């Protein structure tokens, strides 16, 4: 036996309601408020009723159905049990769709242009049910007694209703079974219209393979199980009627609702989706009714089987002949085993095969959205556009590739001194020369810049661990820079001792420094650039620190304020400009003069010229 699963759908169309619900939530799909109110109420009522159907179906299918004590009886029972599971799954799917429809009706009704606050409050008053509703009516009780004509689907002539005959009169002739109802015959092979899965009946055992006692127990087992089968038939029919009733409010609410009741994105799909969904309800009810018919039909052939089987476990023909008081023997009974075996084929074999081949599949509602116009796009989805969060990456830090320096979309900070710049993704910082103080003399400024750059390049090389050769070159450049600084410091010491005035053309402008405490002219400002402290001057020029009479002081000399840490002069070399967005940061090259000590002085510029003062005689 092969029993396919749930009926699935014709073409497995996509449910449009999640998309439509998204449009309504965004306010782009509108629904006339009065129609929205009616259909939202109808959806809520249907959900409550379907929740009750599910609850009852679950309770009814807690116990497995069995048709006989043979393997085929268990297989047939599993087929009907599977349909019960399919019904629960189908009802769950209907509830999911109805909840999406409910949300769509409410949101689209509120979004309707021209709707007043009263309409919105009215729509808000409707809520989805949280508890199952009430089912109408009760399951019909089926009379299974063998003395009363049994129910057969669609008023077909009932089967036999006689009492079992006495064994001494021979086995009864098996009655001719009535055929399946017309409604059942539409589902030959379990094939509902528009669905592809097929169910096949169980492999029924042959009567010729059964012994006399086995036939007896077969009759007894079907007699015990038929009441359970009859009860299950009544439940299926009852639930089918309640499913039909659950959508009665929908049919009323649809009166007067047209495509013009919807406005905005997806309005044609919304109008068609409501009608298409309602088309899925009659096939569901019909499948449930056919299952009920089939079970009631099974009650008939089960009773016919019971009365057609032996009424005793012992075959009379197997008993020894009896003896009278006069010593005469009695005749033995005829062996009717073959007749009972034929009865089994006619009743049980035919009935189980017919029932097994007509167990319809339970259709899902998704298969009925085939005629719904497609809904273009997804609500809330992202379309093409400019760069931004969640959009296509554009120039900027978020889209910058890893590199050694500032990438596209970033610029180096234009500020005096050297500042760290975030790397493109290595997690380290790469120093970038942004500029130098404008008041630093030419030679000292270049020397200081060279020393700082060498130190920073050395640190960067140590962090990367992959530039050992460059580190050695930087060390050589640093040593050369220190030698040049020592020479410059010696020249400055000689100038201070001579106390010679500075060329007026080199002055940075009138200063505001304090008047020196010793001899010499008036103090001069430090120039346009930031003044260096005495501690910094001591660090850069160790010999100059030894000339002071105290911490941070220097001997007064012409053109230099005691509070200034440096002789004013022409601005130093300009700092390297920041990289623009169009430059390739990955091709940054190291200055050539740092790799060689041969042209160091050429790279640092000429020494500042001084004017020899007139010596007083």
pLDDT of 240:
95
pLDDT of 232:
94
382-415 pLDDT tens trace: 333 333 333 333 333 333 334 444 333 333 333 3
* Highest-scoring range by mean pLDDT, 86-100, 403-417, 455-469, 575-589: 86-100
119-131 pLDDT tens trace: 778 888 999 999 9
Model confidence at 63, in pLDDT bands (50, 70, 90)?
A: confident
217-252 pLDDT tens trace: 999 999 999 999 999 999 999 999 999 999 988 888
Domains of the chain, residue spans = 17-316+337-368, 439-502+535-541+566-578+592-605
Report the percent of the chain where pLDDT is more than 70.
46
Q: Could you give the 3-state DSSP secondary structure of residue 318?
A: helix
267-300 pLDDT tens trace: 888 888 898 899 889 999 999 999 999 999 999 9
Produce one character per residue of 186-195: b if its CB has 16 or more CB atoms within 10 Å, e if not: ebeebbbeeb
Q: Is the pLDDT of residue 354 over 70?
A: yes
Higher pLDDT, 323 or 41: 41
Distance CA 496, CA 255 (A): 107
Higher pLDDT, 4 or 381: 4
In angstroms and rounded to an integer, the radius of gyration of the C-alpha atoms of the chain is 51
Lowest mean pLDDT among 85-89, 91-95, 315-319, 472-476: 472-476
Crossing angle of the two packed helices 281-308 and 212-246, in degrees rounded to 10: 160
Higher pLDDT, 413 or 191: 191
CA–CA–CA angle 225, 229, 235 (5° rounding): 150
pLDDT of 565:
44
Q: Please give the average per-residue pLDDT across 311-315, as a whole number.
A: 89
Q: Please give the average per-residue pLDDT across 73-101, as a whole number.
A: 95
pTM (global) more than 0.85: no
Q: Please give the average per-residue pLDDT across 304-329, as a whole number.
A: 74
Residue ranges of E strands in 84-199: none
Model confidence at 212, in pLDDT bands (50, 70, 90)?
A: very high
Higher pLDDT, 304 or 508: 304
| DSSP secondary structure of 60-117 | HTTS---S-SSHHHHHHHHHHHHHHHHHHHHHHHHHHHHHHHHHHHHHHHHHSTT--H
Model confidence at 322, in pLDDT bands (50, 70, 90)?
A: low
């Amino acid at each position: 036996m092969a029993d396919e699963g749930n009926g699935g759908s014709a073409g497995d169309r996509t449910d449009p309601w999640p998309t439509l619900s998204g449009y309504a939530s965004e306010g782009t799909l509108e629904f006339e408020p009065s129609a929205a109110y009616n259909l939202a109420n109808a959806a809520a009522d249907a959900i409550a009723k379907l929740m009750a159907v599910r609850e009852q179906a679950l309770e009814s299918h807690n116990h497995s159905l069995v048709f006989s004590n043979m393997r085929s009886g268990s297989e047939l029972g599993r087929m009907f049990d599977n349909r019960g599971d399919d019904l629960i799954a189908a009802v769950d799917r209907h509830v999911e769709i109805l909840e999406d429809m409910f949300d769509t009706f409410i949101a689209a009704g509120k979004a309707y242009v021209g709707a007043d606050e009263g309409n919105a409050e009215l729509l808000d008053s409707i809520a989805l049910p949280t508890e199952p509703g009430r089912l109408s009516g009760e399951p019909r009780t089926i009379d299974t007694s063998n003395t009363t004509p049994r129910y057969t689907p669609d008023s077909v002539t009932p089967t036999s209703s006689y009492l079992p005959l006495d064994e001494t009169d021979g086995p009864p002739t098996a009655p001719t079974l009535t055929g399946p109802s017309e409604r059942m015959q539409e589902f030959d092979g379990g094939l509902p219209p528009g669905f592809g899965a097929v169910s096949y009946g169980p492999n029924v055992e042959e009567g010729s393979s059964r012994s006399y006692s086995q036939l007896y127990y077969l009759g007894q087992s079907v007699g015990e199980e038929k009441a359970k089968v009859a009860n299950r038939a009544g439940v299926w029919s009852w639930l089918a009627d309640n499913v039909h009733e659950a959508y009665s409010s929908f049919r009323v609410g649809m009166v007067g609702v047209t495509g013009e009741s919807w406005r905005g994105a997806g309005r044609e799909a919304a109008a068609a989706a409501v009608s298409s969904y309602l088309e899925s309800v009659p096939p569901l009810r019909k499948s449930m009714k056919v299952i009920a018919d089939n079970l009631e039909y099974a009650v008939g052939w089960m009773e016919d089987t019971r009365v057609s089987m032996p009424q005793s476990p012992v075959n009379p023909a197997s008993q020894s002949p009896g003896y009278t008081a006069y010593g005469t023997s009695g005749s033995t009974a005829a062996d009717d085993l073959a007749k009972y075996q034929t009865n089994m084929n006619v009743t049980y074999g035919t009935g189980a095969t017919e029932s097994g081949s007509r167990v319809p599949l339970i259709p899902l509602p998704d298969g009925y959205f085939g005629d719904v116009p497609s809904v273009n796009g997804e609500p809330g989805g992202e379309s093409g556009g400019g760069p931004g969060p969640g959009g296509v990456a554009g120039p900027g830090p978020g889209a910058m590739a890893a590199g050694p320096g500032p990438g596209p979309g970033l610029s180096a900070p234009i500020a005096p001194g050297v500042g760290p710049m975030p790397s493109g993704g290595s997690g380290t910082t790469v120093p970038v020369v942004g500029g130098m103080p404008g008041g630093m003399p030419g030679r000292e400024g270049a020397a200081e810049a060279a020393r700082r750059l060498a130190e920073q390049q050395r640190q960067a090389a140590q962090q990367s661990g992959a530039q050992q050769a460059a580190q050695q070159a930087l060390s050589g450049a640093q040593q050369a820079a220190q030698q040049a600084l020592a020479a410059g410091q010696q020249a400055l010491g000689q100038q201070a001792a001579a106390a010679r005035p500075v060329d007026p053309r080199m002055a940075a402008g009138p200063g505001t420094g304090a008047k020196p405490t010793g001899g010499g002219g008036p103090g001069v400002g430090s120039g346009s650039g930031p003044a260096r402290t005495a501690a910094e001057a001591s660090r850069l020029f160790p010999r100059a620190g030894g000339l002071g009479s105290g911490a941070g002081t220097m001997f007064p000399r012409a053109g230099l304020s005691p509070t200034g840490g440096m002789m004013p002069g022409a601005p130093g070399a300009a700092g390297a400009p920041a990289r623009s967005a169009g430059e390739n940061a990955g091709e940054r090259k190291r200055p050539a003069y740092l790799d060689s000590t041969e042209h160091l002085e050429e790279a640092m510029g000429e020494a500042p010229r001084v004017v020899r003062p007139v010596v007083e005689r």
